[in-house]
Amino acid sequence: MNYEEALLQLLQTAIRTKLPIGIKSYQYCLDEKVMISSAGTQTKEAFADITLYWEDSSLSRHRIALPFPPDTPLPIHVWQRVRYFDPHSASLDSQTSGHSSIACDQSILALLEKPFSARFSGPLKTTAYIHTRKLASSHGEQKQEIVTEALLQDTSPYANTVYHKRRLPNEQELTYLHEEQLWMRTVGSHVSGPLGQRQEKAFLLFSPDALRAILHSGFAALLTDKRKREHMLPFIRFCADHSRLSVSHDPYRPWSIGTRSLWPDGSLPKKQVLIAPALTELTELPRYYEAASLHVNHPNIGQFHQWLSQQEHVDYVPHVQVQPSFSPYSQEMGWVSCATRFIQGRPTVQGNLTFTFSLAALVASPHLTLIAKVGWDGYGLAIPYRDLVYTP
Amino acid sequence: MKKFLTDPLTSIAESVMELADSFGLLAIFYAKHSTETSYLWQSGAFIRRQTKNQHEILLHLIFPDGRMGQAFTSDCSQQGVELAFHQARHAADLKSGHLDLIHYLDISEKKVPHAQISLEAPDYDPNQLARHIEKHHYELLPQFQPDLLDTSFHFFQENAYSLRSDGTQYKTNLCKASCRHEIFSFEQFTSFPFQQDWVLSPHYAFDSDLEQLGHQMRRWKTMRGRSLPPKHETFPAIDKIPLLFDAAIVAGLMNAWLDSHDHPSIRCSAATLRFEPGAVADSLPHHPYGYLLPPATLLSPGDRNSELLEALREYPPFFGHYDCQLPFHQDQVHSPCAIFAALTSKGLYQQDRLRVCEGISQLYTEEKTNRFHLLPASMYETDLDSCKPVAPVWITGDALPLFSCLLAGFGPKQTIWPLSEKTRSFSLPAYLFYHPFERSHAS
């Protein structure tokens, strides 16, 4: 019996149980994640988010890990005690989902059919995932989404070569990644403390993940909360007047990790522009918004190696820690556990790095350049250190 | 509710023992089931309630030649557990460290007088506890407007069951609760969390702890106007500068220390750290290797208990309380000026000013290097007469020598749970004197 059949059986038993207040209907979202690793392992994790609708018009919400222990009913007597009234709850509608062709790589699905030894090759550690999301209700509505994910990374300490998308890399990309892996390993040294002094005209290069972390905490996360949203309007208008950068929440970007076709409540994600030249309206982000769906655009776009070779000094930030939320105008501190310093286009030293920035100064920088690189999910962003904060 | 998971598993556990017998192996079966009920209120409105159920099984197989195999599964069916059994059998290797650990756990468990083994916690109604939290939320709300107040309450019930080839079996039950208030300040555009956690037992003080939490939040509000915004620079040469940390910071650093690697390099300690779960919970911790873990000294001047340290870091995590004893402790002295006077008169500090750090604004630890990076919520400079706020700066240091640098404690001891940490609590004085110069003396 598969997980869904077992879950249905549990729910059918629950709905038939005699209780002082019975269960009228149910809805569930079953998320299964199969992980296949080049280390020779294959695991499966699953959980179900269940909403029970009770006869007194209340509802209760529950998450259970699957498979559920054998011969064990759902603890509905306990669940009955945590039901509540939610006037805003929406039940599953009959909209259909789509676009799995840009988020589901058939070659990852095919890995399941291959013997372990024939699944992966090459020196990078590869992990592939298959996420299956199934939504259904006791009224018979059903929706399904299958998305895949491929993560390739160098296993050596302090390595920077990473590929993370919804599809496996093609041959050309793979050849590039192997070459980059060797090149990144030529880094001269690693210091346990901070990177030393930087040059006057040094640049900071944020990976797409690091850039998303800053955009998320500095404004996007605040757009999900109606109590905070209005306070972002001056910043949106500031960007419209002072920046050529646009930021969108786009769950439809082909092969991006943030691409999804179905939220857990059954609603369909939609593309929303958050910041753009001349955009002066606030956008409301949904509860299921994910930072991975943030994408940027700008007229200045450079290619990683070409741009890097033209710079004297670049500090590369693969990941950054910032406060969970901050004002776009405040001076903030970013902390990087392992930054790589490139001098004249060559990796020279790695160490930790702290830098001060304000999001408003960052987006308004006249020297801002977006950077494209094989393996990145979206653009990185390059900016001179001196533009990170306003200097009166 | 307590028997919800464990009963069907006892027969599966027994079948694992039979299977192990047929292969001539010793087996340890451990299953943990946890239920979490969470509640959320935002700005005076109840938002949602949700339950979460999780379970996991851990198997250990010991071969006659000393090899050992380990497997995890969340599939509690007979088939799933048998699959895990064979995975553990095939993955077996000579993990001598693990065998030493089992030997240590066996010896430790034998020291526990049987009368002291209390395994069952009473049942608690999460809804009843949540009503106290809801009331607290409504009481606090007008005091913090126009800032936003979000309150969450989490109630955890953990049932663990273990069976070993020697026939020893345990069923334990632990209830934990956690209340978190988050004030979102429009002025700073960031959230400030305040949290109180409990291991529930007949002696816990729910209402007075909530009152204390409210007091802490009101104090923060009063101080907010006086403390200075952080200065974005790193404190120079922190490894050479003595500081006075509050208990919240030290609990965060101790947590980082317990998670850090390369413990064998730690040879000296000025402080004594005891693993004392009984101080806050009635039951003894149920180790995932199927043993009950009694209190013991983890670190003391001149000695460290490596086996216990390893045992405490095993997965899945289990609750543990730690008590820290310092070489010098004055529980009646707790204002920074009085602490400065005490340190000077004892000859522990000779300079004319001392930096005081309170609360954690940000704390990161580097897994590979064990270095910590701390931005305190507030910093002060104190001398004999005054305690003046200064702008907080980043403090970077090495987490490993922490216990050789903690030399003195001030103020009454309190139980501190590091933020977002549900498995460890610490008993610490209100302020602790951190002196990196003294490291060499302590060794």
Cα–Cα dist B238/B242, whole Å: 8
> Which pLDDT does position B2 carry in this prediction?
42
* pLDDT given for residue A333 in this prediction: 85
Interfacial B residues in 304-363 facing A (CB < 8 Å): 361-362
- Looking at A152, A175, A204, the residue that finishes a domain is A152
Interchain proximity B234–A84, CB inside 8 Å: no
Interval B181-238: pLDDT, tens: 999 998 888 888 899 999 888 777 888 999 999 998 998 888 776 666 666 565 554 5
Q: Which residues does A344 contact at the CB level (< 8 Å), separation at least 6? A: A309, A311, A312
* Residues A327, A280 within the same domain: yes
| Residue that is last in its domain, among A100, A124, A152 | A152
Interface test with B, best of A333, A338, A356, A359 (most B CBs within 10 A): A333
Q: What is the pLDDT along chain A (392 residues), one digit of tens a residue?
A: 789 999 999 999 999 998 999 999 999 999 999 999 998 888 899 999 999 999 999 999 999 999 998 888 999 999 999 999 987 776 666 555 555 678 999 999 999 988 887 888 888 999 999 999 999 999 888 899 999 999 999 887 667 889 999 999 999 999 999 999 999 988 878 776 778 788 888 999 999 999 999 999 999 999 999 999 999 999 999 999 999 999 999 999 999 999 998 888 888 889 999 999 989 999 999 889 999 999 999 999 999 999 999 999 999 999 999 988 999 999 888 888 889 999 999 999 998 888 989 999 999 999 999 999 999 999 999 999 999 987 65
Q: Does B114 touch chain A (CB under 8 A)?
A: no
For chain B, domain boundaries: 3-224, 238-271+326-442
Burial of B419 (0-12, 13-18, 19+ CB in 10 A): middle
Partner A, chain B 361-390, Cβ-Cβ below 8 Å: 361-362, 364, 366, 368-369, 371, 373, 375
Same domain? A140 vs A245? no
Do A148 and A233 lie in a common domain?
Answer: no
Q: Which one-letter amino acid corresponds to residue B254?
A: M
Question: Which domain, by its residues, includes A13?
Answer: 3-152
Nearest to A67 among B35, B75, B394 (CB): B75
Mean pLDDT score, B326-354: 90
Cα separation, B223 vs B245, in Å, equals 17
**pLDDT at B121 (0 to 100):** 66
Query: A352 and A263 in one domain?
Result: yes
- Please indicate if any CB of chain B lies within 8 Å of the CB of A197: no
Residues A246 and A302 in one domain: yes
Do residues A233 and A107 share a domain?
Answer: no
Q: What are phi and psi of B85, to 5 degrees?
A: -60, -50
Burial A258-290 (b: 16+ CB within 10 A, else e): bbbbbbebbbbbeebebbbeebeebbebbeebb
Give me the half-sphere count of Cα atoms (radius 13 Å) on the Cβ side of residue B330: 14
Provide DSSP, A93-161: -------GGGT--HHHHGGGGS-GGGT--SSSEEEEEEEEEEEEETTS-EEEEEEEEEEEE--STT---
In this complex, is the C-beta atom of B420 within 8 Å of any C-beta atom belonging to chain A? no
Q: Looking at the structure, do residues A120 and A203 belong to the same domain, yes or no?
A: no
Same-domain status, A72 and A198: no
Domain count, chain A: 2
Output the pLDDT for position B117: 58
Contacts of A354 (CB under 8 A, 6+ apart): A194, A333, A334, A335, A336, B232, B234, B373, B394
The pairing of beta strand B190-199 with beta strand B243-246: unpaired
Could B189 and A231 be called an inter-chain contact, meaning their C-beta atoms sit closer than 8 Å?
yes
Answer whether residue A185 is part of any domain: no
Could you report the predicted ipTM of this complex, rounded to two decimals? Answer: 0.89
Query: What's the pLDDT score for residue B438?
Result: 47
Tens of pLDDT, residue by residue over B276-306, are 987 777 778 899 999 999 999 999 988 888 8
What count of Cα atoms within 13 Å lies in the side-chain half-sphere of residue A339?
26
Token pair of B261, please? 């690697």
Catalogue the E-assigned strands of B204-340: 243-246, 272-275, 286-287, 291-292, 296-300, 303-304, 320-325, 328-330
Among the ranges given (A291-305, B12-26, B94-108, B254-268), the one the predictor scored with the smallest mean pLDDT: B254-268
To the nearest whole Å, the CA of B398 is away from the closest chain A CA by 10
What pLDDT is recorded for position B443?
35
Q: Residues 6 or more apart from B111 whose CB is under 8 A from it?
A: B294
The answer to whether the bond into B429 is cis (omega within 30° of 0) is: no
- For residue A323, give the amino acid letter: Q
Q: Do B9 and A69 touch (CB under 8 A)?
A: yes
Shortest distance, CA A356 to any CA of chain B (angstroms): 6
B350-375 in b/e burial notation, b at 16+ Cβ within 10 A? eeeebbbbbbbbbbebbeebbbbbbb
Answer yes or no: do A228 and A109 share one domain.
Answer: no
Binary contact (B74, A192; C-beta < 8 A): no
pLDDT digits over A268-315, tens only? 889 999 999 989 999 999 889 999 999 999 999 999 999 999 999 999
CB contact under 8 A, A82 and B46: no
What is the rounded distance in angstroms from the CA atom of residue B328 to the CA atom of residue B319? 28
Q: Where are the beta strands (DSSP E) in chain A?
A: 23-37, 42-54, 59-66, 125-137, 142-153, 162-165, 189-194, 203-206, 246-249, 272-275, 294-297, 301-303, 313-317, 332-343, 346-357, 369-372, 380-384
A147 and A208 belong to one structural domain: no
Q: How far is CA B258 from CA B253, B299, B358, in A?
A: 9, 11, 21
Mean pLDDT for chain A? 91
Residues of chain B in contact with residue A330, where contact means CB-CB under 8 angstroms, are 188-189
Helices (H), A282-374: 304-309, 359-364
Nearest by CB to B8, which of A69, A324, A333? A69
Instruction: Report the run of H or E that residue B86 belongs to, with start and end.
Output: helix B78-90
**Is A107 in the same domain as A217?**
no
Per DSSP, chain B holds a count of helices (H) and strands (E) of 10, 20
In this structure, the answer to whether residues A145 and A241 fall within a common structural domain is no
- Tell me whether residues B190 and A327 touch, CB distance under 8 A: yes
Mean pLDDT, rounded, for B155-174: 92
In the chain, the amino acid numbered B139 is E
* Closest residue of chain A to B229, computed from CA coordinates: A331
What are A226-284's pLDDT values in tens digits? 999 999 999 999 999 999 999 999 999 999 999 998 888 888 889 999 999 989 999 99
Give percent of chain B with pLDDT exceeding 70: 89
Chain A hits for B76, Cβ within 8 Å = 67-70
Asked whether residue A343 is domain-assigned, the answer is yes
What pLDDT is recorded for position B231? Answer: 65
Share of chain B above pLDDT 90, in %: 49
Rounded to whole angstroms, the Cα distance separating A245 from A233 reads 16
Residue B117, both tokens: 């083994």
Please tell me if residue A67 touches chain B, with a CB cutoff of 8 Å. Answer: yes
Which residues, in sequence order, are bridge partners of residue B17? none
List the CATH code of the domain at B3-224. Answer: 3.30.2290.10
Measure the CA–CA gap between A313 and B272, rounded to whole angstroms: 48
Residue of B156, B188, B232 to mutate for A, most A C-beta atoms under 10 A:
B232
Cβ(A89)–Cβ(A59) below 8 Å: yes
Q: How far is CA A173 from CA A152, A168, A187, A307, A374, in A?
A: 11, 9, 22, 19, 7
Q: Tell me the nearest-neighbour CA distance from B76 into chain A, angstroms.
A: 5
The reply to whether residue B74 touches residue A65, judged by beta carbons under 8 angstroms, is: yes
Render the burial of B289-305: b for 16+ CB within 10 Å, e for the rest.
bbbbbbbbbbbbeeebb
